[in-house]
Chain A
Amino acid sequence: MGRRASWLGALVAAVTGAVLVYAASAALNPYLLSIIAFVGINVILAVSLNITNGFTGLFSLGHPAFMTIGGYVTAILILSPARKSHLLPDLPSWIAHRQWPFLASLLAGGLVATLVAVIVGFPVLRLRGHYLAVATLGLIFIIQGLAINLDGYTRGALGLNGLPELTNLWWIYGWMLLTLYVCWKLKHSSLGRTMLAIRENELAAACLGVRITRTRILAFALGAFFAGVAGGLWAHLVTLVTPSSFSFLFAFQLVVMVVLGGSGSITGAALAAAALTVATEALHPVEEALNLFGASQLLLAVAVLLVLIYRPKGLFGMAEPDLLAWIGKSPGRQPTHTGLKRQTEV
């Protein structure tokens, strides 16, 4: 019964979300809409980063690199042939003369990012320890360097601008739901359990027959796919992509979202992503008024320190608190309790 109830709850939540998206698209001004859009994209990014950093216990900083790849691939595929010949003279003709639809371009962006993740992950993920952090940090700069120097394919440091404004709230909402669904299913599947086993004790997991490298690469590649798609969405929301659009600082912000929300908690990562995005936007006017540019970064760092000191496992730890049950909590406390319990026993 519990399973059916949670399905029903998820469905109700998805439909409510869709109604809210519809209402927001019709009523809100574009500035507020763009904040909501960034919230959605950051939720996709934080939740997908959670697959590596939360479930599998790997420390990846690679999301900005995958976003850059996804953003460029998507943008290059969508640009009209007339502009391509003007801006990107070195493209092979099979790309230069064709214009792909948005969905196919997004998927292509995600898949190229996945491919890069597999290539990078194959050697690095065989090693123990924090090699992945260093490798992905390097990857950010390698991709940035490539984007700057492959002039004929990427327009160099100038980036691609004037991209069509294709991303709207519906696209973001759809991809966000897909990311949440995939991560949720993953966490509660046997593959997800092997990831958690690797995170808890690698040696014990290997003894039980878990193929460590393969599982790690899978986790890393899956996260990279969603990051690539999010990069494509971002580029066609902001209407440009440059080599410096996604920096190391952005990787830091995403890691903060995962750590604050609780490594391994999908709900936590999503909520932290939404809260932090809104908070940074809300702090902009304060920064401007006090002439303290960068103060929001400072507050963010302090918040991380506090959480690490007082709640080292993040706000939710590994748990997926039953938010739907919380909302309708008052008399029916019993089901909430069991629901919570079922999900904390991971």
Chain B
Amino acid sequence: MKTILAKVMAAAVGLLAVAPAAEAADPIKIVALYNLSAGGLASIDGPSLNGAKLKAKEINDAGGLLGGRTIEVTAIDTKNDLKDAATGAKRAVSMDGIVAGVGHSDTTFALASAPLFQDKGLPFVTSGATSPDLPDMVGGEMFLACFGDDVQAHAMAEYAYKTLGVHNIVIWTDNAMDYTKGLSKYFQDRFTQLGGKVLLNDIYMTDDKDFSALVSRLKANPDAQAVFASSGPDTAGIIIKQIREAGIKLPILGGDGYDTDLVSTVPGPDLSDDVYFTTHAYVGLDTGVANTFRTSYQKAYGNPPENAFAALGYDALGLVADAIKRAGSTDPAAVTKALNATTAYPAVTGDIAFKNGSRVPSKPVAIMYVDHAKVNLKSTVTP
């Protein structure tokens, strides 16, 4: 382990020491860790990686960074398995000349890989892991390119209470994910603070396929005006399907774990209806970068961005590239310092700034509405 650390440091020092002419030839290495081949997370991690690669390609086409050095993105598949996330990160941090890591759309996975980057002093920018506690739990090398769950849960609680007029709610929580547990907690805090009442807190596990027990307990609460189902992409579609199959017409609310095509394809157009979820804003944003992103994604992959996570992957890599440019070097410590000093990076999903030592940006939240399997933007909330 020590020799690896020594190698990484030697490589970093070496990169600094060599003449600029020699530097120009070396690509800047950034690792992207995503669940690509298995699980529901693949439906949001895949687009994220596409987004990150697109941003790298755009930078390279425009002449690269630091006087012509190109960005090389190495993707590592973590196979929806925490063990692979940890061993993948171990492989990543021992690569020669690695500058930073990006990746993951789920907090539990980020918690498995990011600490290894932290130990080696390499910055890690997660594109879509939304727990606002991540930087505290991991350390000074951990940055979020997305908003924290507190922001999106508060936005949804306010939307439900004020706009939808929901005052009594049932909350379902996936007890096997950090993300869903945190989201439910923040939602409940704000919802009860506003004066709403939580009739029932029900829990399930990510592996569950049968929600009939939860559905019947939901039915036993006739006063419920909506159900807030805090779910990751694995179970979101199944939950909608089984609630609707039981004949329950209540609005279903959720977080950015719903921003996957599984929400439409698993229940089908008849059942996937009257669902509200929060996600990272970009659909409704009419900024220059957002428009450029949409057209270039369409051109590169032949389809429009699948969901907001494609934009987040694009932003996470852009954020790192921006920090490298401002640091004027690929020394990981300098890049971390530059990341900390980010004041207004124009990202597709809203400007990113790390203010007052916080490494969680404050960004706008989009509230989406699913109408017979069609996802439409309802409104954008800026905190």
Contacts and interface: CB of A to CB of B under 8 A. Distances in A.
A238 interface: yes
Interface stretch (B79-87, B236-244, B373-381): B79-87
A30 B119 CA distance: 16
A240 interface: yes
Interface string B139-180: 000000000000000000000000000000000000111100
Interface in B7-61: 37
Interface residues of A, number: 25
Interface in A155-212: 156-159, 161-162, 164-165, 168
Given A30-B91, A165-B116, A165-B119, A238 B108 contact: no
A238 B86 contact: yes
B111 interface: yes
A87 B137 CA distance: 9
Interface string B109-150: 001101110010000000000000000111000000000000
A242 interface: yes
A156 B108 contact: no
Contact of B94 (A26, A30, A148, A245): A30
B190 interface: no
B205 interface: yes
B246 interface: no
Contacts of B3: 25-26
B326 interface: no
Given A25-B3, A156-B175, A30 B138 contact: no
B178 A86 contact: no
Contacts of B94: 29-30
Nearest to A243: B176
A161 B83 contact: no
Contacts of A165: 1, 90, 116, 119
Given A157-B175, A240-B83, A162 B137 contact: yes
A94 interface: no
B248 interface: no
Nearest to A156: B175
Given A34-B87, A86-B137, A165-B90, A159 B114 contact: no
A239 B178 contact: no
Contacts of B1: 165, 168
A31 interface: yes
Contacts of B344: none
Given A161-B86, A162-B137, A239 B111 contact: no
Given A30-B90, A31-B91, A240-B86, A161 B108 contact: yes
B4 interface: yes
Contacts of B116: 165, 239
A240 to B, nearest CB: 5
Nearest to B178: A158
Contacts of B181: 158
Contact of B177 (A34, A83, A158): A158
Nearest to B92: A30
Interface string B351-381: 0000000000000000000000000000000
A161 B4 contact: no
Nearest to B205: A157
A346 B37 CA distance: 50
Nearest to A149: B175
A158 B86 contact: no
Nearest to A234: B83
Interface string A75-92: 000000001001100000
A238 B178 CA distance: 19
A156 B87 contact: no
B121 to A, nearest CB: 14
A161 B91 contact: no
B176 A239 contact: no
B90 A159 contact: no
A238 B87 CA distance: 6
A162 B176 contact: no
A121 to B, nearest CB: 30
Contacts of A87: 137
A34 B86 CA distance: 11
A162 B4 contact: no
A239 B4 CA distance: 17
Contacts of A83: 137
A52 to B, nearest CB: 26
A29 B1 CA distance: 11
A329 B119 CA distance: 49
Contacts of B86: 161, 238-240
A238 B119 contact: no
A245 B87 CA distance: 14
A83 B118 CA distance: 14
Count chain B CB atoms within 10 A of each CB in A30, A148, A157, A161 and give the residue with the most. A161
Contact of B112 (A26, A29, A161): A161
A158 B90 contact: no
Interface in B195-216: 205-206
A158 B181 CA distance: 10
B85 to A, nearest CB: 8
Given A238-B83, A239-B86, A242-B82, A30 B175 contact: no
Interface string A207-243: 0000000000000000000000000000000111010
Contacts of B90: 30, 34, 165, 239
A56 to B, nearest CB: 32
A157 B136 CA distance: 21
Given A157-B176, A161-B82, A168-B1, 12 more contacts: A30-B91, A30-B94, A34-B90, A83-B137, A161-B86, A161-B112, A162-B138, A164-B119, A165-B1, A239-B90, A240-B86, A245-B83
Interface of B: 1, 3-4, 37, 82-83, 86-87, 90-91, 94, 108, 111-112, 114-116, 119, 136-138, 175-178, 181, 205-206
16 contacts: A30-B90, A83-B137, A156-B175, A157-B175, A157-B176, A157-B206, A161-B111, A161-B112, A161-B115, A165-B119, A238-B83, A238-B87, A239-B90, A240-B83, A240-B86, A242-B82
Interface of A: 25-26, 29-31, 34, 83, 86-87, 148, 156-159, 161-162, 164-165, 168, 238-240, 242, 245, 288
Question: When A and B form their complex, which 6 residue pairs have the shortest distance between CB atoms, in order from nearest?
Answer: A162-B115, A157-B176, A30-B94, A161-B112, A239-B86, A161-B111
